[in-house]
């Protein structure tokens, strides 16, 4: 393995990934003991897709009305990520293990930032 590959691979690996419709949350457990319940809403509005993130920070889209969004399918992408298919039709984000870990670690901060941005724009999690 090259030095570059060692830098890119995370020091931990996911050992479980499951979605619970009743909770609308994806559960991710890592081999170092970290585990997260990631709300589908947060994954949808933080999607790493160009549709949401844009091609620069100024292009980032605020996505309202996703409180009740669910995940229809989880598809593996190589051995480094999953593609989530949301029930609102969004399916272009590639969620790497590192991205999911970061969302898990920062989910309270990310959700608070999202709710504040919606309020500032006069939008809602429900519409």
Q: What is the pLDDT along the chain (127 residues), one digit of tens a residue?
A: 444 444 456 788 999 999 999 999 999 999 999 999 999 999 999 999 878 887 777 888 999 999 999 999 999 999 899 999 999 999 999 999 999 999 999 999 999 999 999 999 999 999 8
Residue 63 lies in a domain: yes
- Distance from C-alpha of 66 to C-alpha of 76, rounded to nearest angstrom: 24
Domain containing residue 78: 3-120
The pTM assigned to this predicted structure is: 0.89
Q: How many domains does the chain have?
A: 1
Asked if 125 contacts 116 with a C-beta cutoff of 8 angstroms, the reply is no
Residue 21 lies in a domain: yes
Residue 87 lies in a domain: yes
CATH number at residue 35: 3.30.2020.30
Residue 61 lies in a domain: yes
- Distance from C-alpha of 28 to C-alpha of 104, rounded to nearest angstrom: 9
């Amino acid at each position: 393995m090259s030095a570059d590959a060692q830098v890119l691979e995370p020091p931990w690996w996911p050992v479980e990934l499951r979605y619970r419709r009743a909770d609308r949350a994806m559960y991710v457990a890592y081999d170092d003991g970290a585990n997260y319940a990631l709300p589908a809403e947060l994954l949808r509005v933080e999607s790493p897709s160009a549709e949401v993130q844009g091609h620069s920070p100024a292009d980032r889209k605020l996505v309202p009305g996703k409180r009740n969004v669910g995940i229809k399918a989880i598809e593996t992408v190589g051995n480094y990520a999953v593609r989530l298919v949301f029930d609102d039709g969004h399916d272009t984000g590639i969620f790497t293990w590192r991205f999911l870990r970061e969302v898990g670690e920062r989910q309270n901060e990310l959700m608070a930032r999202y709710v504040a941005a919606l309020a500032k724009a006069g939008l809602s999690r429900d519409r």
